[in-house]
Amino acid sequence: MPKSEPFERYTERYEGWFDTHEAAYQSEVEALRRLVAQPGFGIEIGVGSARFAAPLGMQVGLEPAGEMLVRARERGIDVVKGVAESLPFRNGTFDTALIVTTICFVDDIPQTLAEARRVLRPDGSLVIGYIDKDSPVGQIYQEKKSENPFYREAVFVSTDELVDALEVAGFSEFEFVQTIYHWPDEIDEREPIKEGYGDGSFVGIKATM
């Protein structure tokens, strides 16, 4: 079953998560905002319904799930259907490439990162937001993944694994932020945002060449 299929079938359930977990969602948005304060011309790869692309100032979104593209378009994003491993854009097109809660769903992480680097301008940056595999929330997601239609086929990664892959792809400078210190169902107000990683379950990496 394609990893995009649950996002086609359970679009309303996906959208509902953000409404139910507003404080956790806003914590993640604000953490990433520290890394994309001036995005320039930006793309979110795996844009979903543009829950991150829209508030973070991305203009373009790429996504394989048609139902998600409809929602992203409604949020003002110029959408393109496609996959992360084969971006339909010329070299050096974007100032910022954003990948949020998507890296665990791609079929080929090294190819995804190589493509992101290709479409970035020489002074551009790649920002990735994700649940760290080694974090408390990441461990629970992995234990319960068979119960969740979205995460059933997901392959979670740790920050160290992702940094290694980014270095192979040609990125050399990294900045980290972290947030989400409790299970999302228990979060009623915005979580603190800190530099680094290792404490928060949601990590943001800004990678430059």
* All residues at 6 or more sequence positions from 78 whose CB lies less than 8 Å from its CB, including other chains: 59, 60, 61
Query: If you average pLDDT over residues 126-149, what whole number do you get?
Result: 94
User: Which pLDDT score, from 0 to 100, does residue 153 have?
Assistant: 83
Choice among 107-116, 131-140, 141-150, 178-187 with the minimum mean pLDDT: 141-150
Nearest alpha carbon to residue 183 among 146, 127, 143:
143
User: Which pLDDT score, from 0 to 100, does residue 2 have?
Assistant: 53
Taking 90 as the threshold, does the pLDDT of residue 109 lie above it? yes
Question: Which structural domains are found in the chain, ordered by start?
Answer: 5-208 (3.40.50.150)
Per-residue pLDDT tens for 18-65? 999 999 999 999 999 999 989 999 999 999 999 999 999 999 999 999
159 band by pLDDT with thresholds 50, 70 and 90: very high
What value does the mean pLDDT of the chain take? Answer: 95
How many Cα atoms within 13 Å fall on the side-chain side of residue 106? 28
Question: How crowded is residue 9: how many other Cβ atoms within 10 Å of its Cβ?
Answer: 13
Please tell me the distance from the alpha carbon of residue 197 to that of residue 168, in angstroms, as a whole number: 20
Query: If you average pLDDT over residues 119-129, what whole number do you get?
Result: 98
Distances (CA, A) of 123 to 82, 152, 167, 192, 207: 25, 37, 16, 30, 11
Taking 70 as the threshold, does the pLDDT of residue 144 lie above it? yes
DSSP string, 59-118: -EEEES-HHHHHHHHHTT-EEEE--TTS--S-TT-EEEEEEES-TTT-S-HHHHHHHHHH
149 band by pLDDT with thresholds 50, 70 and 90: confident
User: Which pLDDT score, from 0 to 100, does residue 43 have?
Assistant: 98
Taking 80 as the threshold, does the pLDDT of residue 3 lie above it? no
Query: If you average pLDDT over residues 171-192, what whole number do you get?
Result: 97
Nearest alpha carbon to residue 79 among 99, 59, 106, 56:
59
Token digits of residue 165: 């892959």
The 10 Å CB-count burial string (b at 16+, else e) for 152-187 is: ebbebbbbeebbebbeebebeeeebbbbbbeebeeb
User: Which pLDDT score, from 0 to 100, does residue 11 have?
Assistant: 86
User: Which pLDDT score, from 0 to 100, does residue 160 have?
Assistant: 97
* All residues at 6 or more sequence positions from 153 whose CB lies less than 8 Å from its CB, including other chains: 1, 3, 105
Please tell me the distance from the alpha carbon of residue 35 to that of residue 30, in angstroms, as a whole number: 9
Taking 50 as the threshold, does the pLDDT of residue 1 lie above it? no
Please tell me the distance from the alpha carbon of residue 41 to that of residue 87, in angstroms, as a whole number: 16
Please tell me the distance from the alpha carbon of residue 200 to that of residue 132, in angstroms, as a whole number: 8
DSSP state of 197: S
Single pTM value for the model: 0.95
Query: If you average pLDDT over residues 68-75, what whole number do you get?
Result: 96
